Structure formats: C-alpha cells, structure tokens
Structure 1
C-alpha cells in the first residue's frame, strides 16, 4: 500500500490488521487490505515531541488512538526544565465527529520521554518510558497507570527492550554481553508480577549481541522472531524464529525484495526502515 500524499511514517504496530501512521501533527489509521485511510484531526503540537499508538477495545468493539505529547527533554539541565505533557485520545471512525479528548487528572508521575513499545494486548496499550517503567493505557476506560519493570531487568533504563505479545501476555526480551537472552512475562498486570525464562544464545545468534535487534510482535506459537542486524542493508535481510523452551532455532527466513520495487521505493537503502510484525493478518473491515 503506497501512501504518497501526505507522506506518513509508520509509528504504531498493527492492531487487528490496522496500522497507525503519523507525520508531524498529522495522524491517520489505515488498513492495507482495504486501502482505507482514516485521517484524524490534527493535534496542536507546539514544538513538542509526539507519539501515537493504536489500541482496540474488544468490549465496545472500538479502535482508539492514544497521542502522547511532551516537551523535548534537555538532558543538560534535567532539574530546570518544565515538562509539558499531554495525553489525548481519539476514537477512530470514518464520520466527521472525530475529536481529541484530553485525559485529565492522571495520577501517574510525569515521565520525560517515550523510548519504545506501543503494543496492544487484551484491550490495553503498553509502551516504555525510562527509569524501568512501562505505561499501561486501558483503551475502554481511558485510564493510565505505570508498571514497574522487574528489578533484575534492564527495561527502560538506557535503551528500549523489545516488547511483544507472548501468548496473550506482555513480554519483553533482553540481550546481554554474557551471551544470554532473557524473556520476561507480565503474569499479572494489577499485582505487577513477572516471570522469566533465560536461554544461552546459540552460536548462530551470537551476532545479536551488542546490536539493535528488532524483536517484536505477536508470538502466539511461543517462538521469538528476531532480525539479523544487517537486515536493512542492501543484502537480503534474514529473520530467525527462536523457541525459548526448546532453546533452539525453529526456522530461518530470507526475504529478497524485487529489484524494481527496491528501485522505486528505495527499499534496502539506508534511508528506508523496515518494520516486521509476525502477528499481522489481513482485515477486510471498513471503519
């Protein structure tokens, strides 16, 4: 699906086949299967950073976009800066009644930046902020709470981990320099209880250490999808599926992009960014 006017940059992971795209203060939800694009009202940015996440409420059968805006944080003067933060919500519909609603009286502490995430699981959107915290947004009630990452983990400290849907639960993957890969699973969101599985990386995946590896999406079969770190180079990019319980690579996939497609759209060049989502499926629904 080509979106040329205006050019949107994909920001949110697919939710039931729908994708949230954003460019500056312009946000849209599109369905690649039906080619439908629903443009949301522009937000007032005021030079702030903006993040948009798509969520689905299975009870009311509604799609909503959460928009987070905050002052671009200046790390050179962390205690002097006034962080202007807003949380806005818009219900996705093709009618002209769309509007942004500001979430008032949030009880959570102000966080300074969003560093990753946007995973929707069972009616809630999860995304990472610094200081080992994960934000949980309930799509139906439009309430926000902070979830503390496990103390033993590196969640949201210096770099984003890889949030994913692990068999219907929030999961996160970490890599360290001891040749170990660890999977964290949020067993109870209310009690904030986590479990973990640790696996020594096989020799074929040692190249993942120290790399910005993408590992995200729905892992309903229990196997983890990871990129090879040179996946966006001119070479064909490679994907591995790794089973934590069996501690072995289940299968490998090499994706070769057609030459004409690569030439027209710039796929494979450094200016192009890949996003792989193993849980994507086509949805013929019109909003």
Structure 2
C-alpha cells in the first residue's frame, strides 16, 4: 500500500515529500507503483462489475500535480476481466493483466496485454502451469514482472 512518496534531489541533497492525489475513500485495493512514459505513476485495478485500471501519473513533483486516467480493456472473445488484476506496464506501454487466482483445473494460465493507446488486447496462453496444479488447492498469483530483463553486467 502506498502511504507516501519521497523524492531526493541530488543537487541539494535534500529529501522532499510528494503529496499524493485525493483518492476516493472506498479504495481498498492495493495500489502499485510503476513508471509511465518515464514518469512516476501508480495504479490499481477494480474488480467484478467495476473493472477498469485507474492510473495516476505525476506531472509535476514540485507542484504535486497528478493526472488521472481510467482505462477499460475492450472485450476479448470468450473472456471477462472479473478475475484479473493489472501488474504494470511493459516497456512497449502495454498493461499486463493476469488472473488473481491460479487453480488446479485444466484451464490454461494466460496473460493479457492491453495496449492503452490502440485500445487493443491480446491474450497469451502459458501452457503447463495449471496442469501441474491439477487437483491442488487454490494458489494466488503473487507477482508478474512486466519488462523484466537480465543485465549481463551482473550475471
């Protein structure tokens, strides 16, 4: 949960508090920090009938100005977003969505990429995950790291 954000100015060597935008009081979902087009941002995704991705982008850290955006993925044939959470952006600017719960069924595990500029989605099925859990109790999708890369300097 994000309670506050601090910045550090390397020139003056001083910390400063960045005021968060006013949020509706009923937000209980976990907010996630990310970057959007090189700027600090945070987002959360709704659930069930209130699905959408709410994104706040820091426009000016000195003036504490944030812009607010709401994105709702277009329908994807044979799929609804009730069981999905957003996990962040890829380097190409697509939101990554995946099921919150992975269960031991024969259903495939999938990741949905939502391009907010084109308002387009694509679904990628990852085979083998659910079949390994066949008959197992529910498991929770903890983390998905969009844009994860290896740095050869640290291998």
What's the TM-score once normalised by structure 1's chain length? 0.41
Q: Does 1:173 align with 2:43?
A: yes
How far is 1:158 from its partner?
Answer: 2.5
1:285 alignment partner, SS class: helix
Shift of 1:165: 1.8
Structure 1 residue aligned with 2:149: 281
- For the pair 1:224 / 2:95, whether they are aligned, the reply is yes
Query: Where does the alignment leave 5 or more consecutive residues of structure 1 unmatched?
Result: 1-114, 116-127
Could you list the runs of 5+ residues in structure 2 that have no partner in the other structure? none
How far residue 227 of structure 1 moved from its aligned partner, in angstroms, is 0.9
1:233 pairs, out of 103, 112, 115, with 103
Cα 1:179/1:214, change in 2 over 3 Å: closer
Deviation at 1:239, TM superposition (A): 0.9
**1:149 alignment partner, one of 14, 17, 20:** 20
Report SS of the residue matched to 2:87.
coil
Pair 143,197 (structure 1): closer, same or farther in 2 beyond 3 Å: same
- 1:182 correspondence with 2:50: no
Deviation per CA, 1:125-162, whole angstroms, max 9, x where unpaired? xxx12xxxx323549688654333222x3599533123
d(CA) in 2 for partners of 1:173, 1:236 = 27
Structure 2 Cα separation of the partners of residues 180 and 276 of structure 1:
18
The separation in 1 between residues aligned to 2:148 and 2:26, in whole angstroms, is 26
Offset, 1:283: 1.3
Per the normalisation by structure 2, the TM-score is 0.68
1:207 and 2:78 matched: no
Q: Distance in 2 between matches of 1:145 and 1:155?
A: 25
In structure 2, C-alpha distance between the alignment counterparts of 1:214 and 1:200, rounded to whole Å = 11
Equivalent positions of 1:75-90 (< 5 A) are none
Number of matched pairs: 146
- Higher CA-based Rg: 1
